[in-house]
Amino acid sequence: MGPKILLLSSPSGVGKTMYCRQFLLDGLLKGEKCMFISTDLSRMQFDALFSNVENKNILDRLEYINPCDDMSLPINNERAVSGKGLANAILSALKRSLEIKSTSETQKASSDQKREHEDVVAGNDKPIRLVIDSMTHTLLLIGEKTLIEFVMDLTRILKGLNVTAIFTLTTSSVDQRMVSNLSSIVDGIIEMRLKEDSNDAAIRSIRVRHLKGVYYDPKWTSFKISSSGTIIFSDAQRSSLGSPSEITCALCAKPVIGTPLVKSDLIFDSKECMEIYYRLENAYGSKISDTGLPSQAFHASFFYIDMVGLSDPTLSVKKQIQKIQILNELIYSCDSFRKASTGKKIILPSGDGMAIGFLSNPESPLELSIQLHHKVRAYNEEKYAADSIGVRIGLGSGPVFTVSDLNNVQNIWGPGIIIARRVMDAGDSGHILIAEKMAEELISLKDEYRRVINLISNKYRIKHGQQIKLYSAYSDDFGNPEIPSKVFSNE
């Protein structure tokens, strides 16, 4: 059975409510029961949202609930709805609508006490679609802690029911931290974004960022909202199925979504791809297509390591070589390195260290980092300070390409390995730093990653003025909990 509870996040005005409208209409047309819960949308606004539906009969199966309309809600001293009262009202309304009978009442206790729910379905196993729009407004009313407790309660209520739910969240007002906090509770994350092309025309796009228990490369698909409120996906999505009309990027070979960028008879899907293409062309002195670039890029997750202090002039060349050999032996002895088959990893020496790209498992770079830290710590405990090894590690992911230099020697180039190198350069000895995209993917996969991966900078500036979110992985037995010195000076 597919995902049950999905979180739909985007900045304001991209089209979350209209996407939910389409989601509910599709369910109504299939004969399913549908519910729309909102704390900020009035009944009049809700009716207007579905006013142009031709078949009014299907709307009989659509229920609108605004828990704030319940005058029995408890209020606090400021005459505002209390957090617990609103959360309980939403849950009660949901139970009534789904015809769920509770064999034991929900215990009103503090957050550190266990709640017991023994809910059974009263003869209703038909598919149900649920929308809560918007969680952002609910967050403002009840606070972050109560909202998370509410979502956890809701997952328990929906357990065993044939319900597919979408919660919406405006990310521009709560940043990505709330999305990360809820990612371990819900079954999947859907993202929407809004960009402008060179003609200032709005381009909306959507992607499934992750589904619990499933890993894949999230891809953006553009869409439009018609005058009737219908979601219309772009022709690029249909052409990606293999039709001859497909337009692909000259660098990454992915289908171009939205308005393409054209320069020198070449087509690109983004300014980043176009800039990388011409940097490569300048570096190799010819068209990339003449230097052995394959027809399609491949995605990799990179572990980039550098030995700290190896260029110390007081170290002899012999000692430097010895330290490099020891580091290589420690890396090769790690299970996450040995278990990755030869065809599923890329190894690139880099002077004071190396870059390792994993093609299959996105968790491998972090697993390798943790295992290596344990081995380095054990090695250093038996050595004098002068013989100890210090390393800094950067993790990143993204597309890369095989290119050949003027000597016909193949190499790897692309955003995936570049971002890992930039992230590593920000660290001091002992740091395991992670780029934004990989960090968020890992946080969404496992609770244990949420506990050890920490945001340390919202706007860390790397080369060419690009700003990224920077994360650091650490615990009591690996990593470095201190903020890197470059991050201090960069802020």
CATH number of domain containing 224? 3.40.50.300
Query: Which of 233, 252, 287 finishes a domain?
Result: 233
- Does residue 249 fall inside a structural domain? no
Residue corresponding to tokens 């909306």: 204
SS (H, E, C) the chain: CCCCEEEEEECCCCCHHHHHHHHHHHHHHCCCEEEEECCCCCHHHHHHHCCCCCCHHHHHHEEEECHHHCCCCCECCCCCECHHHHHHHHHHHHHHHHCEEECCCCCCCCCCCCCCCCEEECCCCCCEEEEECCHHHHHHHHCHHHHHHHHHHHHHHHCCCCEEEEEEEEHHHHCCHHHHHHHCCCCEEEEEEEEECCCCCEEEEEEEEEECCECCCCCCEEEEECCCCCEEECHHHHHCCCCCCCCECCCCCCECCCCCEEECCEEECCHHHHHHHHHHHHHHCCCHHHCCCCCCCEEEEEEEEEECCCCCCCCCHHHHHHHHHHHHHHHHCCHHHHCCCHHHEEEEECCCEEEEEECCCCCHHHHHHHHHHHHHHHHHHCCCHHHCCCEEEEEEEEEEEEEECCCCCEEEECHHHHHHHHHHHCCCCCCEEEEHHHHHHHHHHCHHHHHHEEEEEEEEECHHHCEEEEEEECCCCCCCCCCCHHHHHHC
Query: Which of 233, 252, 267 finishes a domain?
Result: 233
In contact, 405 and 371? CB cutoff 8 Å: no
The CATH number of whichever domain residue 424 belongs to comes to: 3.30.70.1230
Same domain, 78 and 213: yes
- Does residue 274 fall inside a structural domain? no
Entry field: residues in the chain = 491
Same domain, 305 and 207: no
> Rg for the chain (alpha carbons), in Å?
26
Same domain, 396 and 307: yes
- Does residue 308 fall inside a structural domain? yes
| 43 conformational bin, left if phi > 0, alpha if psi -120 to 50, beta if neither | alpha
- Does residue 145 fall inside a structural domain? yes
Same domain, 361 and 444: yes
Same domain, 208 and 92: yes
Task: Write out the two tokens for 465.
Answer: 């003025």
Torsion over CA of 23, 26, 32 and 36, rounded to 10 degrees?
30
- Does residue 238 fall inside a structural domain? no
Residue 82, number of CB atoms within 10 A of its CB = 18
pLDDT at 79: 43
In contact, 63 and 91? CB cutoff 8 Å: no
Same domain, 315 and 207: no
Same domain, 223 and 321: no
- Does residue 104 fall inside a structural domain? yes
User: What are 7's strand-pairing partners?
Assistant: 167, 189
Same domain, 309 and 446: yes
Buried b (16+ CB within 10 A) or exposed e, 116-125: ebebeeeeee
Query: Which of 176, 202, 233 finishes a domain?
Result: 233
- Does residue 467 fall inside a structural domain? yes
The domain in which residue 367 lies consists of 298-490
pLDDT at 480: 96
Task: Write out the two tokens for 235.
Answer: 């022709």
Per-residue pLDDT of the chain (491 residues; tens, 9 = 90+): 444 789 998 888 888 999 999 899 888 888 888 999 888 888 888 888 888 888 888 898 899 988 776 545 554 444 455 556 677 777 777 777 766 544 333 344 333 334 433 343 443 567 888 999 888 887 877 788 888 888 888 877 777 677 889 999 888 655 677 888 888 888 888 888 888 766 667 788 888 887 776 655 677 888 888 777 778 775 444 433 333 334 566 665 566 666 667 665 567 777 767 766 665 555 444 444 444 444 446 778 999 999 988 877 777 888 888 888 899 899 999 999 988 876 678 888 776 788 898 887 889 999 999 999 999 999 999 887 778 899 999 999 888 876 655 555 556 777 788 889 999 999 999 999 999 989 998 998 888 999 999 999 998 988 767 788 999 999 999 999 999 999 987 76
Same domain, 178 and 305: no
Same domain, 110 and 183: yes
Residue corresponding to tokens 């967050």: 139
Same domain, 330 and 190: no
Q: How far apart are CA 219 and CA 364, in angstroms?
A: 22
Domain count, the chain: 2
Task: Write out the two tokens for 342.
Answer: 């030869």
The answer to whether the bond into 134 is cis (omega within 30° of 0) is yes
pTM over 0.75: no
Same domain, 63 and 209: yes
- Does residue 242 fall inside a structural domain? no
